[in-house]
C-alpha cells in the first residue's frame, strides 16, 4: 500500500452587514477572512476510515449527527468516484472556531472536497466544488443563503441579495477590522426564530427594522467604495442597534460592542447569526486596533483577530 496523502484548504468569512435582513430580501455584504483557515489532510491507512476533527476522533461511521453534512459528502463523493470507503484517514485542522458565524462548516466542506478530489486524482471544477459544498450546507443549515460557500470558494468580497447572482465588489480601506470571539456558540436558529416571531406579531415594526438594515447595507457599500471609514463606522453602530432590537444580540455581544466603542473604535457590531458568536469593530490604525483588542480580551473576549483591510484583501 502506498503512502499517498492529499491536502485541501479553505478560509473563513465575515459578514460585515446585512445578517438576518438578507433572509427577507435585503442585501448583505461579506468578505473573505484569511486570518482563519481549515486544512483537511487525507492519508492512506489500511482498514476502516477514521476521522480526527474538533468535534470527534474515531471511526467515520460512528460520527455524531452534528457532522452529518460532512460525512454525507465524503460518502457521496467517494461513491461517485467508484472507489471504496476504506483505507484512508481524514484529519481536519482548524483555526476557525465552530458555531461563531465565520463560515466554519462551509470551509470544512470546501477543504475536504478539495482534499478528496486530490487524493483520488480527480479533476475538480468550481461547479462540482459548489455543488458538493451546498449539499453539506443544506444538511447543516437547512436553507442557507449560499453566501458562505460562495465567499469561501471565490475568496472575494461579495454583495448579495437573495434570488440574485452574487456580485463581487472592490474592497480596500485604510483601516483595521477587529474580530472578537465571545466564546459563546452562536444560536442562529433561535435568532432567526426571534426575527420571524417579531415579523409575525408586529409586522409593521419588523418590516421597518429590516428595511432600515437594507438601507444601511446599501450605504455601507457606498462608504466602502468612497473609502469613507468614519461613515462606515457609524453605519455599523446603527446596524448593531437594529439587530439588538430584532432580538439577535445578547448581553455579551452588547458588552463587547460597548467596550470597543468606549476605547476608540470607529464602529462596532455583532456579525453572523447572533445570540453569541463574534463581534467586529473598526479601528483607524494598527496601534488603535491593538489597544482595542487588549481591552476586549480584558473584557472576556476569548480570541481576537486583527485584519488589515487595506492589505489583506489584495
Residues taking part in catalysis: 148
Contact between 310 and 172 under an 8 Å Cβ cutoff? The reply is yes
Distance between CA atoms of residues 70 and 272, nearest Å: 21
- DSSP, res 81: T
Residue where the block lists cell 434570488: 163
Other beta carbons less than 10 A from residue 209's beta carbon: 22
* Cα–Cα distance measured from residue 189 to residue 112, given in angstroms and rounded to the nearest whole number: 25
Q: What is the Cα gyration radius of the chain?
A: 20
Integer Cα distance of 187 and 233 in angstroms: 25
Q: Rounded to the nearest 5 degrees, what angle is found at the Cα of 256, between the Cα atoms of 253 and 261?
A: 125
* 178 phi/psi in degrees, rounded to 5: -105, 130
Under a CB-based contact definition with an 8 Å cutoff, are residues 171 and 224 in contact? yes
Residue with cell 483505507: 87
Cα 255 to Cα 30, 80, 88, 190, 300: the distances in Å are 24, 49, 46, 20, 10
What single DSSP character describes residue 313?
T
**Alpha-helical runs (H) found in 247-285:** 251-262
Using alpha carbons, select from 86, 94, 81, 161 the residue that is nearest to residue 121. 81
Amino acid at each position: 500500500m502506498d503512502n499517498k496523502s492529499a491536502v485541501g484548504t479553505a478560509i473563513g468569512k465575515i459578514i460585515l452587514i446585512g445578517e438576518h435582513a438578507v433572509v427577507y430580501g435585503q442585501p448583505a455584504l461579506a468578505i473573505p477572512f484569511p486570518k482563519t483557515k481549515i486544512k483537511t489532510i487525507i492519508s492512506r491507512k489500511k482498514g476502516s476510515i477514521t476521522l480526527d476533527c474538533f468535534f470527534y476522533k474515531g471511526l467515520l461511521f460512528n460520527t455524531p449527527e452534528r457532522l452529518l453534512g460532512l460525512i454525507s459528502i465524503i460518502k457521496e463523493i467517494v461513491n461517485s468516484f467508484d472507489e471504496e470507503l476504506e483505507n484512508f484517514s481524514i484529519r481536519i485542522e482548524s483555526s476557525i472556531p465552530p458555531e461563531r458565524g465565520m463560515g466554519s462548516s462551509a470551509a470544512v466542506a470546501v477543504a475536504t472536497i478539495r482534499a478528496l478530489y486530490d487524493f483520488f486524482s480527480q479533476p475538480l471544477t468550481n461547479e462540482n466544488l459548489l455543488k458538493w459544498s451546498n449539499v453539506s450546507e443544506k444538511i447543516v443549515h437547512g436553507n442557507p443563503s449560499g453566501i458562505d460557500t460562495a465567499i469561501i470558494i471565490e475568496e472575494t468580497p461579495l454583495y448579495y441579495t437573495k434570488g440574485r447572482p452574487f456580485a463581487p465588489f472592490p474592497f480596500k480601506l485604510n483601516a483595521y477590522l477587529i474580530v472578537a470571539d465571545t466564546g459563546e456558540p452562536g444560536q442562529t436558529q433561535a435568532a432567526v426564530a426571534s426575527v420571524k416571531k417579531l415579523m409575525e406579531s408586529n409586522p409593521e415594526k419588523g418590516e421597518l427594522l429590516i428595511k432600515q438594515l437594507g438601507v444601511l447595507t446599501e450605504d455601507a457599500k457606498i462608504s466602502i467604495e468612497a473609502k469613507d471609514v468614519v461613515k462606515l463606522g457609524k453605519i455599523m453602530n446603527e446596524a448593531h442597534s437594529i439587530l439588538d432590537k430584532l432580538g439577535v444580540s445578547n448581553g455579551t455581544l452588547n458588552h463587547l460592542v460597548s467596550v470597543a466603542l468606549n476605547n476608540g473604535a470607529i464602529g462596532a457590531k455583532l456579525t453572523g447569526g447572533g445570540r453569541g458568536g463574534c463581534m467586529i469593530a473598526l479601528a483607524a490604525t494598527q496601534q488603535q486596533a491593538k489597544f482595542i483588542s487588549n481591552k476586549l480580551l480584558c473584557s472576556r473576549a476569548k480570541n481576537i483577530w486583527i485584519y488589515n483591510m487595506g492589505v489583506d484583501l489584495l
